[in-house]
Chains A and B, each alone.
Chain A
Amino acid sequence: DAGVTQSPTHLIKTRGQQVTLRCSPISGHKSVSWYQQVLGQGPQFIFQYYEKEERGRGNFPDRFSARQFPNYSSELNVNALLLGDSALYLCASSLSASGGADTQYFGPGTRLTVL
């Protein structure tokens, strides 16, 4: 079975631009979460979506937004890019949004570089 897929794998943008990252969850998984991993640090939670509704949001500015589609795929949008947005953006899928011991399975990530 296919794992979590993300596109594109790499992206280079300039300050002030906007970017859209895409994620397809594992078949049967209804929840998608997004994390930002800055070089040398652990992933930081950005959003969680379940059944097209936002179920959680981390401490990120309103320039970050996301949505989930009826097929459970998801997009992460970042507006007015800053140099500090350069990071690996990870998508994770899980069966539910209830947490607990539910495992999140991660995709390979999208490497965003802002110049």
Chain B
Amino acid sequence: AQSVTQLGSHVSVSEGALVLLRCNYSSSVPPYLFWYVQYPNQGLQLLLKYTSAATLVKGINGFEAEFKKSETSFHLTKPSAHMSDAAEYFCAVRWGSTLGRLYFGRGTQLTVWP
């Protein structure tokens, strides 16, 4: 079965610290991978996506993610957290056989302490 796992439902960091949000997916067939952010009472905003052009993908707001096929992972990082990064982050995966359908992880709530 196709699935997406986000390790850690809550992550807390201090302002200026490294942010690392983890995402693993099932299946050895490389999928298309996305990270979305959701601020309170809002919809989802695309941070970045992997399209097989490069394994390290840079997104908006200083975020980046690295695709590692051997580990079936697509972890999201940011070198220095900002208070405005506090939000919920979702990893989403699309496999070729599922056409437009996105499979989402359960989300990781990021808290940034001053």
Contacts and interface: CB of A to CB of B under 8 A. Distances in A.
A43 B4 CA distance: 12
Interface residues of B, number: 26
Contact of B43 (A4, A56, A102): A4
A94 B45 contact: no
A56 B104 contact: no
A: contact size bracket: 20 to 34
B32 A99 contact: yes
User: Secondary structure at chain A's binding surface: helix, strand, loop or mixed?
Assistant: loop
Contacts of A55: 99-100
Contact of B100 (A40, A41, A102, A109): A102
A99 B96 contact: yes
Interface of B: 4, 32, 34, 36, 42-46, 49, 51-52, 90, 92, 94, 96, 98-107
